[in-house]
Structure 1
Amino acid sequence: MPRDGNPTRERILRAAERLMTDQGYSATSVDQVIAAAASSKGAFFHHFSSKTDLAVHLMRRYVAGDLAQLDAGLTATAHLTDPAARVVAFLRYYEDGADHLMTEQSGCLYATVLAEREFTGSEMNDEIARTARTWRDAVAGLLRPALGGRRDIDVEALADHLYTTFEGGFILCRTYADPSAMRAQLRIHRQLVEALLGS
């Protein structure tokens, strides 16, 4: 995740992300965030005007980190000239990083925000949608040349399937109390795409 150079602010954001991802926005109080960050009310309100303001800044930080992950996958595979090989390598990049991802976080902040009625139709919802579309457009951009213009495959829906695999992976990890479920789901997604590319 990007950092702004202010250790107190970063500590508060990290604590808030962990708490809100684990127990939801509504169930997380400012006092809990302050305690988890080993901070103070004065420090909290120096950086954030309210709990909602904290959530907005947290979402911006999370989105920046998410898009950085997309860029990392694109950059790591940019040297591959064969479109099909690049798609597979791109998906493997996230599969190979799944265990590390699950040591860093237990769930997705997007799901937390989208579950809150307070944010329905809000700027944060719009930001999540923009981010999901950015992933969709990038993945579809890799898939189209690899699929050779096939008309029987909805390329955008297939691109969105990576997003839903991540979200479903988080749910399965919690359901089974098994962080390796994320890697397993990303592996299956890659294998399904490989099958489509080879068919």
Structure 2
Amino acid sequence: MPRDGTATRERILQTAERLMTEQGYQATSLDEVIAESASSKGAFFHHFSSKHDLALKLTERYAARDLEHLDAGLAAVAEIDDPAARLVAFLRFYEDGADELMSEQSGCLYASVLAERQFTGSDINRLVTKATVAWRDAIVDLLRPALAGRAAVAGIDLDALADHLYTTFEGGFILCRTLEDASAMRAQLRVYRQLVEALLSAG
């Protein structure tokens, strides 16, 4: 009976994600991934056709988890009727979970792969774009009713305000590394939430 290679594939993916997130795509060699995952070249090429294919499969996997993270936040606030309260609770969900997030990962795979010019306009870029736009659309759907009728915020670009949460996450990862302080992510998400609350109270 042939052995199920699922565990080996997952071990390679976990190892490659950690290495690429910590040191970048170019700096991570296939030999390093194979050695640290206790695998073999034969096993690697059974599951992945190339380093690019590995990066693609990693990004697919990471984007799926990213969208699960979004769905978890939306589900957590789905029963809140007031639009403003629902928006703030959504932001608090990620603020409250920031320490756990940083204990699980030291950076974002998106930044690692998109730092490579070869992936600009590629299938990998499109996967990240799809996930990013899903976040934007979901947050705009929360922002629009919460800010409706407030003259002081007329003209605010809701897409840009929604994207600012994405940039807060990405910048938070960099700041945590810079300061060697994992709590910086929570602090940055708190500031974003406070900025949104200031808009909500602007009237």
Q: Same fold (TM over 0.5)?
A: yes
Letter in 2 for 1:12: I
Shift of 1:194: 0.7
Within the alignment, does 1:156 sit opposite 2:159 as a pair?
yes
Rounded to whole Å, the distance in 1 between the matches of 2:75 and 2:6 is 28
Q: 2:182 aligns with which of 166, 179, 194?
A: 179
Percent of aligned pairs sharing the same letter: 71
Q: Larger C-alpha radius of gyration, 1 or 2? A: 2
Against the structure 1 CA distance between its residues 149 and 38, is the aligned structure 2 distance closer, same or farther, given a 3 Å change threshold?
farther
Q: Give the equivalent residue in structure 2 for 1:126.
A: 126
Shift of 1:152: 2.9
Rounded to whole Å, the distance in 1 between the matches of 2:92 and 2:10 is 31
Letter in 2 for 1:107: G
Shift of 1:91: 0.3
Rounded to whole Å, the distance in 2 between the matches of 1:34 and 1:149 is 57
Structure 1 unaligned residues grouped into runs of 5+: none
SS at match of 2:39: coil
Shift of 1:37: 1.1
Tell me the alpha carbon deviations over residues 33-70 of structure 1, each in whole angstroms, 9 at most, x when there is no partner: 11221211121111111111111000000000000000
Rounded to whole Å, the distance in 1 between the matches of 2:96 and 2:192 is 13
Tell me the alpha carbon deviations over residues 102-137 of structure 1, each in whole angstroms, 9 at most, x when there is no partner: 111111111111110221221111221121111000
User: Which deviates more from structure 2 when the two are superposed, residues 42-51 or residues 72-81?
Assistant: 42-51
Q: Give the equivalent residue in structure 2 for 1:49.
A: 49
Shift of 1:31: 0.9
Tell me the alpha carbon deviations over residues 175-198 of structure 1, each in whole angstroms, 9 at most, x when there is no partner: 001111000000110011011111
Q: Give the equivalent residue in structure 2 for 1:135.
A: 135
For residues 41-80 of structure 1, what are the structure 2 equivalents within 5 Å? 41-80=41-80
Rounded to whole Å, the distance in 1 between the matches of 2:163 and 2:119 is 22
Letter in 1 for 2:182: P
User: What RMSD over aligned residues (CA atoms) do the two structures have, in Å?
Assistant: 1.1
SS at match of 1:153: coil
Q: TM-score, normalised by structure 2?
A: 0.93
Structure 2 unaligned residues grouped into runs of 5+: none
Q: Give the equivalent residue in structure 2 for 1:198.
A: 201
Within the alignment, does 1:104 sit opposite 2:107 as a pair?
no
Rounded to whole Å, the distance in 1 between the matches of 2:104 and 2:35 is 20
Tell me the alpha carbon deviations over residues 138-169 of structure 1, each in whole angstroms, 9 at most, x when there is no partner: 00000000001442321111111100100000
SS at match of 1:70: helix
For residues 81-96 of structure 1, what are the structure 2 equivalents within 5 Å? 81-96=81-96
Rounded to whole Å, the distance in 2 between the matches of 1:99 and 1:8 is 30
